[in-house]
């Protein structure tokens, strides 16, 4: 068939199809069915995917915002924790200073200088320790040391800016004491083994009238050669009769907490002594 006839036939066919399409809905129903079964589900799927991606995007933005807020809150918590720690330390030091002030007022007849503990011997108890002041502050050997309501010990060696203190709980410590109520003399001895029970020992108590009782205060006596008189040592916690039936011995609960010491007061007044000459 010649091409011009073929073109004419195709033109007539296209014209007829255009007229049929504009004039009738013969092709609309099949196309609508195709759209309904193919295009719409595809569009719905694209819509759901788009919605899911949009939600994930919003969630990522929220997560990033929460992470930033969490980092800021962590920094704030760290800052507040540090401030709280400093405040607790200040409060603890303030309480210690108040206790030392009350102790200083309690022994107002003596001159005192405060000092801080900077080192101690091994162990859980302050049986021997170093303070941060020495001869430059006027300290000398045998000066008495107090803290926490009572007697701690005495200075046994001195440097320019340090002093070593041997406490009354040390195994080689002996203090001449007396019961405050009855003025009976006794010897207070340190015992590190008993400090686990928060006790030290006493001996050579003469109490023929049985006037001394548990709970009585024990202070340094006037006849002590190293310690000033009437400084509280502790409280009698138990009393036993010795084998000779003449003296008594027992245990004393110290007035000082020898497990937690940080600051002390050094009494710069010395015990008055009489030379042998």
Whole-prediction pTM value? 0.65
Q: String of b and e for 210-243 (b: at least 16 CB within 10 Å)? A: eebeeebbbbbbeebebbbeebbbbbbbebeeee
Distance in angstroms (rounded) separating the CA atoms of residues 95 and 101: 10
pLDDT of 142: 93
What is the SS3 assignment for 112? strand
CA-nearest of 131, 204, 195 to 174 is: 204
Residue 233 has a pLDDT of 95
pLDDT score recorded for residue 274:
47
Q: How far apart are CA 52 and CA 48, in angstroms?
A: 6
pLDDT at 62: 87
Q: CA 131 to CA 99: how far, in whole Å? A: 18
* Nearest residue to 166 (alpha-carbon basis) of 227, 224, 232: 227
Other beta carbons within 10 Å of 39: 12
The three-class DSSP label of residue 196 is helix
Q: Are 200 and 251 in contact (CB under 8 A)?
A: yes
The whole-angstrom separation of Cα 276 and Cα 40 is 120
Q: Quote the pLDDT of residue 275.
A: 47
Return d(Cα 235, Cα 198) in angstroms, integer: 11
What distance in Å separates the CA atoms of residue 175 and residue 202, rounded to the nearest whole number?
9
Q: Provide the b/e sequence for 105-115 (b: ≥16 CB within 10 Å).
A: eebeebebebb
pLDDT at 138: 92
Q: What is the mean pLDDT of each run of 10 residues along the chain (277 residues)?
A: 79 79 61 59 72 80 88 87 77 68 76 90 84 93 90 94 94 92 93 87 92 94 90 94 93 91 89 56
**pLDDT recorded at residue 212:** 93
Hey, how many other C-beta atoms are within 10 angstroms of the C-beta on 89? 10
Q: How many CA atoms lie within 13 A of 94 on its CB side?
A: 6
Q: How far apart are alpha carbons 163 and 101 in whole angstroms?
A: 22
């Amino acid at each position: 068939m010649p091409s011009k006839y073929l073109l004419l036939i195709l033109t007539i066919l296209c014209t007829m199809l255009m007229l049929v399409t504009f004039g009738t809905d013969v092709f609309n129903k099949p196309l609508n069915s195709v759209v309904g079964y193919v295009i719409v589900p595809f569009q719905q799927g694209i819509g759901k995917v788009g919605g899911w991606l949009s939600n994930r995007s919003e969630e990522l933005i929220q997560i990033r915002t929460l992470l930033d807020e969490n980092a800021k809150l962590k920094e704030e918590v760290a800052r507040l924790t540090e401030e709280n720690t400093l405040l607790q330390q200040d409060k603890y030091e303030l309480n210690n200073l108040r206790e030392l002030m009350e102790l200083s007022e309690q022994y107002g007849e003596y001159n005192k200088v405060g000092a801080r503990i900077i080192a101690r011997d091994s162990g859980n108890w302050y049986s021997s320790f170093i303070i941060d002041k020495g001869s430059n502050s006027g300290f000398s050997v045998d000066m008495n040391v107090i803290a926490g309501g009572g007697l701690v010990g005495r200075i046994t060696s001195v440097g320019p800016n340090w002093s070593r203190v041997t406490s009354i709980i040390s195994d080689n410590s002996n203090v001449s004491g007396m019961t405050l109520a009855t003025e009976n003399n006794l010897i207070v001895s340190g015992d590190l083994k008993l400090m686990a029970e928060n006790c030290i020992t006493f001996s050579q108590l003469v109490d023929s009238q049985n006037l001394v009782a548990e709970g009585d205060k024990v202070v340094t006596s006037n006849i002590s050669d190293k310690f000033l008189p009437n400084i509280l040592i502790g409280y009698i916690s138990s009393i036993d009769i010795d084998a000779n039936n003449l003296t008594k011995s027992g245990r004393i609960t110290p007035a000082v907490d020898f497990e937690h010491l940080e600051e002390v007061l050094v009494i710069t007044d010395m015990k008055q002594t009489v030379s042998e000459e």
